[in-house]
Amino acid sequence: MRAITLSFDDGHPADIKVAEYLARHGLTATFYVPVRNSEGRPVVDAAQLRSLASAGFEIGGHTLDHLRLTALDESEARRQVADGKAALEDMLGSEVRGFAYPGGRGGSRERAMVKAAGFSFARTTQMFRLDRNTSSYRLPTTVQFYPHRLPALLRNWLRQGGGARRLGLALACSRQCSVQEAVGYPLSRLTEGQVLHIWGHGWEIDQLGLWPEFDKTLGMLAGAQASCVANGSLVLADAAGTPV
């Protein structure tokens, strides 16, 4: 079947509002949360984290301090991954299976340490992908909920693998007049067996005042003939070879 999955990074308190909008439309998502944010942005506390989980949203790791693993030495990178997972699990009282690479990229070294820490899958920020059954530790996305201009989209295309199909989707998304339309373009072309993965940051939606557009976009997704699942559920379905 056609599938939709959503994910939000950084664990900013604005994610609580993101979750409220999602629940209003009957949609689910995965929230990737660091324990602290070295960039200075606030992070949800333990009670807020548990409220997200109790509302049915999936919680994933995003390192201990929101540091880019590719810039760290081996020992510190492993600590960021493993200790971040352990801290989240202590707060939640349950297993955390998914991980998102801060900065969106992770090579073979980073993938190995994420797997060694006990994560079952990891998400990148490679965009303009609709295909399923990709590597569990290199999950791609389709479009970010952010008003990107063409140069930024082309940078993502170039830095994260290139490819003619991805370029075509990047150019098509750049021609849309709004973020809602940029999401709607691949949604309207989603075929059986494909997945539309929208990702973003709650703090960016809040900072740019995109809540009305976010609400309309979620309404569009809720009305689509597609199953909405968390990232982890999609990975499990693909591993089992079963439809979502």
Count: domains in the chain: 1
Gyration radius (Cα) of the chain, Å: 17
Looking from the CA of 64 toward its CB, the CA atoms found within 13 Å total 14
> Domain limits at 60?
3-240
Residue-level pLDDT at 57: 98
Place of tokens 């297993």: 95
Q: What is the pLDDT of residues 134-147, one digit of tens each?
A: 789 999 999 999 99
How many other C-beta atoms can be found within 10 angstroms of the C-beta atom of residue 45?
12
Q: What is the pLDDT of residues 114-134, one digit of tens each?
A: 999 999 999 999 999 999 877
CATH number at 146 reads 3.20.20.370
Looking from the CA of 236 toward its CB, the CA atoms found within 13 Å total 9
Task: Give yes or no for a contact between 142 and 186, defined as CB atoms under 8 angstroms apart.
Answer: yes
Amino acid of residue 168: G
Note if the pTM is more than 0.75: yes
Q: Is 180 exposed, middle or buried, given 0-12, 13-18 or 19+ CB atoms closer than 10 A?
A: buried
